[in-house]
C-alpha cells in the first residue's frame, strides 16, 4: 500500500532536550503536510501544518521544516517534556480539487526520559 | 462536548459476524473519513464522504460499507468479519474546501475478531 516514512522507530530523548522527528514522503505533487501526535488509547491530534510553498513554520515549541528537493519533513520539539511522549505521524495530502486525501507515515514513537 | 465521537469504543466478535461502528461530528464539517490503524500503528484511509457523497474509496473489500445519512454522521458496517479486520478504526472530519483541511479524529473503535 501507499506509505510515507519509515518503519515505526523509537526516539528516546532526555527531558529538556530538543527532539527531531524525521519523515520522508513519496509524492512530489503533494501540496500540504501535517504532523499529528497520538497518545496511547487516543486518536491522532493536530500539531502543526505546512504548505508546499513554505519551507519552515513555527508553533509553540514546535517547528516543521519542509525540504521539497529531497521530499523530507521534520518536526522539531523544543525543550521536550514528559507530556510529549507519544507516536508522531507525518501526513501528506494527495487530494485534488479541494479534497483532502491524507497518506500517513508509519510514525515515530517519542519516549521522554526523566 | 466531544467533537468527533464514535461508538462503540471496543468491539469483540466472532469471525463471520456483521458489525457496525457509528460516528458523529458536531463541528459542522462537510467531510468525514474512516481510517484503519493496524497493530503496527499504520494509519490507512478507507473512505471519505463530502456532504453525504462518497469521494474516496480506497479499494476496501466490499464487505465494508460506509453510510452517511447526513453530513454529521458516517457509519461503517462490516459484513462477514475476518481475523484480518481486527484493528482500531478511526473516524475523522475536516472542513475541506479552501480551509486548512486539518483532520479531527475520534477516539477510535478497537475491533477484535476471534
- pLDDT tens, position by position, B42-55: 999 999 998 888 88
CB contact (8 A) between residue A99 and residue B55: yes
Contact A75, A56 (CB under 8 A): no
Alpha-carbon gap, residue A106 to B106, rounded angstroms: 19
User: Interior CA angle at B22 toward A45 and B46, to 5°?
Assistant: 65
Q: Is B103 on the interface with A (CB under 8 A)?
A: yes
Residue B57: pLDDT band by 50, 70, 90 thresholds? confident
Q: Is A46 on the interface with B (CB under 8 A)?
A: yes
Q: What's the confidence (pLDDT) of residue A7?
A: 60
Q: How many angstroms from the chain centroid is the CA of residue A44?
A: 11
Question: B40 to chain A: which residues are within 8 Å by CB?
Answer: 8, 106
- pLDDT tens, position by position, A46-84: 999 999 999 999 999 999 999 999 999 999 999 999 999
What sign has the CA pseudo-torsion B27, B32, B95, A72?
A: positive
**CA distance to partner chain B, nearest, from residue A58 (Å):** 16
Q: Strand A19-24 and strand B4-7: pairing?
A: unpaired
Please tell me whether residue A18 adopts helix, strand or coil conformation: coil
Amino acid at each position: 500500500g501507499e506509505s510515507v516514512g519509515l518503519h515505526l522507530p523509537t526516539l528516546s530523548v532526555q527531558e529538556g532536550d530538543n527532539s527531531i522527528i524525521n519523515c520522508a514522503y513519496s509524492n512530489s505533487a503533494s501540496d500540504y503536510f501535517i504532523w499529528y501526535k497520538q497518545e496511547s488509547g487516543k486518536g491522532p491530534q493536530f500539531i502543526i501544518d505546512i504548505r508546499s510553498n513554505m519551507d519552515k513554520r513555527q508553533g509553540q515549541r514546535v517547528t516543521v521544516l519542509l525540504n521539497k528537493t529531497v521530499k523530507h519533513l521534520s518536526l522539531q520539539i523544543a525543550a521536550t517534556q514528559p507530556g510529549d511522549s507519544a507516536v508522531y505521524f507525518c501526513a501528506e495530502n494527495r487530494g485534488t480539487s479541494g479534497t483532502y486525501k491524507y497518506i500517513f507515515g508509519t510514525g515515530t514513537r517519542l519516549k521522554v526520559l526523566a | 462536548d466531544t467533537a468527533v465521537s464514535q461508538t462503540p469504543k471496543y468491539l469483540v466478535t466472532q469471525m463471520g459476524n456483521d458489525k457496525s461502528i457509528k460516528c458523529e461530528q458536531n463541528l459542522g464539517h462537510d467531510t468525514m473519513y474512516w481510517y484503519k490503524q493496524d497493530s503496527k500503528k499504520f494509519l490507512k484511509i478507507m473512505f471519505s464522504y463530502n456532504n453525504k457523497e462518497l469521494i474516496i474509496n480506497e479499494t476496501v473489500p466490499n464487505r465494508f460499507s460506509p453510510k452517511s445519512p447526513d453530513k454529521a454522521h458516517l457509519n461503517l458496517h462490516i459484513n462477514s468479519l475476518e481475523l484480518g479486520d481486527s484493528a482500531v478504526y478511526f473516524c475523522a472530519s475536516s472542513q475541506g474546501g479552501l480551509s486548512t483541511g486539518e483532520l479531527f479524529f475520534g477516539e477510535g473503535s478497537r475491533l477484535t475478531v476471534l
